[in-house]
Chain A
Amino acid sequence: MARTAIEAVGLNKWFGDGEVKTHAVKDVSFEAYLGEILYVVGPSGSGKTTMLSMISGILRPNSGTVKIEGSEIWSLTNDALADFRLHKIGFVFQDFHLFPRLTTAENVAIPLILQKRAWDEALKEAEVDLEVVGLKDRAQLPPVKLSGGEQQRVAIARAIVSRPDILILDEPTASLDGDSGRNIVKFVREHILSDQRCIVIVTHDSRIYEFADRIVKMEDGKMMGIERENLNAQ
């Protein structure tokens, strides 16, 4: 049986007070396992990103708990939370957020540098992961010289360079054309997923659903249940 990577219980998050109070996430509970790709789907404003932020240690819930591999993260101090994210979670942002003034290799090396690794050593490891995503020959180029798909791969290399157990991809296909989007997610499925890693993807792009192990749907801040399960296991 797969080990539990993320265990969210009774998550609630609201913004504002009184008449302007918005209940973004309502009593959400779910689990995600190592070795699977879990999709969180739903329309815009359904609370996907808020929920994603709470399980990744970025946004503190108003109530509920999040356990990552058995440890409750919201009892940690801010510094400890930052360390937790640095070592346990890899992020691939929708707009990639690569530094245009750094080379591709330097962008990938950032998490290692934040872990206080030596500059040269971090760059060497970054080049290894650039090779994994097929961009070793682009290591010295600035990201602006790369295509959207290549930038996405650089963002993925940056997310996995510190060997995190949990990878979070926020709308990975939103900035790419149809084929590139599919290829990226296919690449993640084939090369990035492992038995020791859980990948959570927030998307509303139905063209990539085929690469999910499970898909959970959110609507109006609530988790509406599992839409599809063990797609690839069948």
Chain B
Amino acid sequence: MGGILHIAYKLLVNDRAKYAALLLGITFAVFLMIEMTSLFAGILTRSSATVINIGASIWVMDPAIQTVANTIPLPDYVLDEVRSIPGVKYAVPLYSGAALLKLPDGVYQSANIIGLDDTSLFGRPTLENGNIEDIFAENAFIAVKDSEFYKLENPKVGAEFELNDHRGVIVGIAHVASSGLFGVPTLYTTYNRALQYIPSTRFTISYLLVEPKTLADVALIKQQVKAAGYLALTKDEFIQKISSFYKYQTGVGTNMLIMTVISFIIGLSISGQTFYTFVIENLEKFGALKAIGAKGRELIVMILFQAAFVSLTGYGIGVGLCALIIWTARLYLPDYAAIITFSNLVLAFLMVIVIAAISSYVGVRKVLRIEPFDIFRG
């Protein structure tokens, strides 16, 4: 079979114009599909940035919460109630809210303020610079060095700013796993200082972060929280809930899906049409091969090999091109959110397989129908 595949390979790559057109079609389709799905994956990941960065096992919230950014404050007694549930190892409050900072040069900049539990600092970021105990110092904030860090004018430890006429001081520079979605920098402080600096409503707890004693306790905790009229979600469930909101209750998911489908159709059209022309132009030669003694299945193998070869090559180039574009874009656009995930790659691969299958199906049908007798008849 190796010799036949060698012939198939040469027939394909030596027809440079068609080979280039086939590669272009597949590459373009793969590039678009991966770019679209990577953007979507990036948006979804960033939309759950706070959940990912804080890292609590269980999040207790108001049942009406749709995303982590739109908080509905919880009464203080909920904290006591949750702490009293058997199976809860500990539960701490978290503040999450927006604030307007006045930077040293007079510029106003929105920021996301995370207030960590004063006693445990649960969910604190990893410090690159400074000491975590300094967060208890007067006016202390820790700045997150993510893609939005420059909007704080690249502060160093000791830099100052104003927040609601309060003086703020950067006491540490930290890094986190994921940048936020909304293009604003993030500052960490203590829960009580956050309440002190930012105007608050009657209730002040944004979320309760809960650690169960064992995994088996999760179900009971969720049940008891539900009985109290609130919602307890594991970290993954909360991320899923946020993702579902962006997928199904905003236009983002639909638009990305449409773009991905269009990319697929473009790739299928270009590759399918070119492959069909390629087979049609060689149809008489395939008929001659049949007359000489090639079996139908050998011709099918040749066509499938050609379709698979061009598809996998185009897939590889498309993935590489997409990675290059994303890498380049990030050099100049720190906010660029695209992330190539394993799921994106698998999805694009499956779609390329479908393109190859449909393209080769038409070719196989043609080749199986050609009769050697037709070659004699001319």
Residues of B within 8 A of A (CB): 1-4, 6-7, 10-11, 14-15, 282, 284-285, 287-296, 298, 371-373, 375-378
Least Cβ distance of B8 to chain A in Å? 11
Interface readout for A29-54 with B: 1 if CB under 8 Å, 0 if not? Answer: 00000000000000000000110110
- Asked if B3 and A117 sit within 8 Å, CB to CB, the answer is yes
- Asked if A83 and B3 sit within 8 Å, CB to CB, the answer is no
- Closest A residue by C-beta to B372: A58
- Asked if B293 and A85 sit within 8 Å, CB to CB, the answer is yes
Residues of chain B with a CB closer than 8 A to A82's CB: 290, 293-295
- Asked if A114 and B288 sit within 8 Å, CB to CB, the answer is no
- Asked if B294 and A114 sit within 8 Å, CB to CB, the answer is yes
Confirm or deny: A118 has a beta carbon within 8 angstroms of a beta carbon on chain B: yes
Given contacts A99-B285, A101-B15, contact A93 B376 (CB under 8 A): yes
Interface readout for A80-105 with B: 1 if CB under 8 Å, 0 if not? Answer: 00111111000101110111011000
Bound form: Cα–Cα A118–B2 in Å:
8
Residues of chain A with a CB closer than 8 A to B7's CB: 99, 102, 106, 110, 113
Q: How large is the interface on A (under 10, 10 to 19, 20 to 34, 35 or more residues)?
A: 35 or more
- Closest A residue by C-beta to B13: A101
- Asked if A97 and B288 sit within 8 Å, CB to CB, the answer is yes
Residues of A within 8 A of B (CB): 49-50, 52-53, 56, 58-59, 78-79, 82-87, 91, 93-95, 97-99, 101-102, 106, 110-111, 113-119, 122, 158, 170
Most buried by A among B6, B15, B287, B376: B376
- Asked if A94 and B373 sit within 8 Å, CB to CB, the answer is no
Residues of chain B with a CB closer than 8 A to A117's CB: 3
- Asked if B378 and A53 sit within 8 Å, CB to CB, the answer is no
- Asked if B11 and A99 sit within 8 Å, CB to CB, the answer is yes
Residues of chain B with a CB closer than 8 A to A110's CB: 7, 289, 292
* Given A58-B291, A114-B4, 14 further pairs, Cβ under 8 A: A49-B376, A59-B371, A59-B373, A78-B295, A86-B293, A91-B288, A91-B292, A97-B284, A97-B288, A97-B375, A101-B15, A102-B7, A106-B7, A116-B3
Bound form: Cα–Cα A52–B373 in Å:
10
Residues of chain A with a CB closer than 8 A to B375's CB: 93, 97
- Asked if A114 and B376 sit within 8 Å, CB to CB, the answer is no
Least Cβ distance of B360 to chain A in Å? 18
Task: Say whether chain B's binding surface is mostly helix, strand, loop, or mixed.
Answer: helix
- Asked if B3 and A122 sit within 8 Å, CB to CB, the answer is yes
Bound form: Cα–Cα A111–B286 in Å:
13
Bound form: Cα–Cα A79–B292 in Å:
12
The 4 closest A-B pairs by CB, nearest first: A86-B293, A113-B3, A97-B288, A101-B14
Residues of chain A with a CB closer than 8 A to B291's CB: 56, 58, 85, 91, 93
Residues of chain B with a CB closer than 8 A to A52's CB: 376
Least Cβ distance of A183 to chain B in Å? 23
Residues of chain B with a CB closer than 8 A to A93's CB: 288, 291, 375-376
Bound form: Cα–Cα A50–B296 in Å:
22
Contact with B11, one of A58, A101, A122 (Cβ below 8 angstroms): A101
Least Cβ distance of B4 to chain A in Å? 6
Interface pairs (19), CB distance under 8 Å: A58-B291, A58-B371, A58-B376, A82-B290, A82-B293, A83-B293, A85-B291, A94-B376, A99-B282, A101-B11, A101-B14, A101-B15, A106-B7, A110-B289, A113-B3, A113-B6, A114-B289, A117-B3, A119-B2
Contact with A97, one of B3, B14, B285, B371 (Cβ below 8 angstroms): B285
Least Cβ distance of A143 to chain B in Å? 11
Bound form: Cα–Cα A146–B92 in Å:
85
Bound form: Cα–Cα A82–B299 in Å:
13
- Asked if B373 and A114 sit within 8 Å, CB to CB, the answer is no
Residues of chain B with a CB closer than 8 A to A114's CB: 3-4, 289, 292-294, 298
Bound form: Cα–Cα A49–B371 in Å:
14
- Closest A residue by C-beta to B295: A82
Bound form: Cα–Cα A42–B7 in Å:
37
Residues of chain B with a CB closer than 8 A to A95's CB: 284, 378
- Closest A residue by C-beta to B18: A101
Bound form: Cα–Cα A150–B375 in Å:
21
Contact with A53, one of B14, B285, B294, B373 (Cβ below 8 angstroms): B373
Residues of chain A with a CB closer than 8 A to B1's CB: 116
Most buried by B among A85, A94, A110, A122: A110
- Asked if B293 and A58 sit within 8 Å, CB to CB, the answer is no
Residues of chain A with a CB closer than 8 A to B2's CB: 119
Residues of chain A with a CB closer than 8 A to B376's CB: 49, 52-53, 58, 93-94, 170
- Asked if B292 and A86 sit within 8 Å, CB to CB, the answer is yes
Bound form: Cα–Cα A97–B294 in Å:
14
- Asked if B292 and A85 sit within 8 Å, CB to CB, the answer is yes
Least Cβ distance of A122 to chain B in Å? 7
- Closest A residue by C-beta to B376: A49
Bound form: Cα–Cα A95–B374 in Å:
12
Bound form: Cα–Cα A114–B301 in Å:
13
Most buried by A among B1, B15, B288: B288
Residues of chain A with a CB closer than 8 A to B294's CB: 82, 86, 114
Residues of chain B with a CB closer than 8 A to A118's CB: 3
Residues of chain B with a CB closer than 8 A to A158's CB: 292
Residues of chain A with a CB closer than 8 A to B10's CB: 101-102, 106
- Closest A residue by C-beta to B297: A79
Bound form: Cα–Cα A79–B373 in Å:
16
Residues of chain B with a CB closer than 8 A to A119's CB: 2-3, 6
- Asked if B288 and A79 sit within 8 Å, CB to CB, the answer is no
Least Cβ distance of B166 to chain A in Å? 76
Residues of chain B with a CB closer than 8 A to A87's CB: 293
Bound form: Cα–Cα A175–B284 in Å:
17
